[in-house]
């Protein structure tokens, strides 16, 4: 059985571009045009992954993502944010909201396909290292105290 992906964007040509490329890779693709409709489609269609824009009418992608992650039934569905909102604050908000990946427009469809495959492969392997929202930060507390500063 092929994996089902929900593509969510209010720009019909973007939805179609995502849909055609993912269908060519063998995925089943359903679509929605805003966050409210996306939540309805998630309940009805039970997708394995979402590709979602941020700036949409009725309910934006951040709000829809937040609602998905707050619901135990949908919290584990991976979400790729695909948006023109490329400012650092927007990307950070996406990570904070629970996005698994944040891609900016314009985008390369092959890059999207590669990331979708990696997410599904990680799930199949029982490996969640695709989850870039995990705390993989490095700070001074992580440093080995035995390190000595370079001599001058």
Q: Domain with 23 in it: what CATH number?
A: 3.40.50.2300
Show the domain range for 111: 4-142
- Residue 1's pLDDT band (cuts 50, 70, 90): low
Full-model pTM: 0.80
Whether 82 is covered by a domain: the verdict is yes
| Mean of pLDDT over the chain | 84
d(CA 61, CA 1): 28
- Residue 127's pLDDT band (cuts 50, 70, 90): low
Domain count, the chain: 1
Whether 48 is covered by a domain: the verdict is yes
d(CA 71, CA 86): 27
DSSP, collapsed to helix, strand or coil, labels residue 105 as coil
């Amino acid at each position: 059985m092929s994996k089902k992906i929900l593509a969510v964007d209010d720009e019909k040509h973007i939805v179609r571009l995502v849909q055609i490329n993912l269908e060519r890779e063998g995925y089943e693709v359903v679509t929605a045009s805003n966050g409210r409709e996306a939540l309805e489609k998630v309940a009805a269609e039970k997708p394995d992954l979402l590709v979602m824009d941020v700036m949409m009418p009725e309910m934006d992608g951040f709000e829809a993502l937040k609602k998905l992650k707050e619901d135990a039934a949908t919290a584990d569905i991976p979400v790729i944010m695909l948006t023109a909102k490329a400012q650092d604050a927007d990307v950070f908000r996406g990570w904070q909201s629970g996005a698994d990946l944040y891609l900016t427009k314009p985008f390369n469809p092959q890059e999207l396909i590669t990331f979708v495959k990696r997410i599904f492969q990680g799930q199949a392997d029982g490996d969640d290292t695709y989850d870039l929202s995990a705390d993989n930060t490095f700070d001074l507390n992580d440093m080995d105290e035995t390190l000595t500063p370079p001599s001058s």
